[in-house]
Amino acid sequence: VWKCKHLHFEKSEFFNFFMTSVSCNFVRIYKKLIALLLFIVLVVVVLKFCVVDKDPDSDMTASLPGSNSGIPDKLWQPKYAILETTMGEVVIELYWKHAPTTCRNFAELARRGYYNGTKFHRIIRDFMIQGGDPTGTGKGGTSIYGRTFADEIHEDLKHTGAGILSMANSGPDTNGSQFFITLAPTQWLDGKHAIFGRVYSGMNVVKRIGLVETDKNDRPVDDVKITRAYIKMN
């Protein structure tokens, strides 16, 4: 017999009492641990879905399949690119059906902000306005595929009039980031420069840019810049 000051227990009774107490404590601790784990999981889930990215552009990057490589997936085909310039806004319609590789390069560079702050560094009246070089020299710029990429010439696309968007280059397969917009028919460029879009609206702005004063090297006396370039899905 186990004796206490006020209680008397048989050995078996004490053992049963002890085991019952231990079991109850273990169950209580187990329930608390489960509740704690569930709370932690809930907090993690809430934080995951409530975090807001402060950079609006990064939302699109995260949603683009294949964006880890820096090159958007082929399914990503925004219809328009908008060029906000120091002389007004120009909306470009991209020819994805005929020049998907070239359109993807231009659209992705615009989405990244690559063209923001760049100049129209070469302007020739009644011919074209040229831009897209971050150095402003006519010798710079790279594509999203590397330094350069191959020509994407389509026989159905011709430099038939004003407002044609085409890639500037220094020879075959040397496309980077530079582009030009025609101010008149320039058929001698057919087969030599990749056409990938046209001016959808803002041709009056393009024409005014084409009339600015330039020096002997066809550089504007006063800078004409793309303040912001971005894409629009439809």
Q: Are strands 195-201 and 225-232 parallel, antiparallel or unpaired?
A: unpaired
Q: What is the chain's Cα-based Rg? A: 33
Cα 137 to Cα 63, 152, 219: the distances in Å are 35, 24, 9
Dump strand ranges (E) for the chain: 2-3, 8-9, 80-85, 88-94, 118-119, 122-124, 128-131, 164-167, 179-182, 195-201, 225-232
Instruction: Tell me the β-bridge partners of 94.
Output: 197
Asked whether the beta carbons of 66 and 77 are under 8 A apart, the reply is no
User: Which sequence positions are flagged as catalytic?
Assistant: 122, 127, 130, 169, 180, 189, 193
Could you give the residue ranges of the DSSP H alpha helices within the chain?
11-50, 56-63, 100-112, 203-209
| Rounded (10°) angle between helices 56-63 and 100-112 | 150
Non-local CB neighbours of 121 within 8 Å, separated by 6+ positions = 130, 131, 133, 136, 137, 138, 219, 220
Maximum CA pair distance of the chain? 116
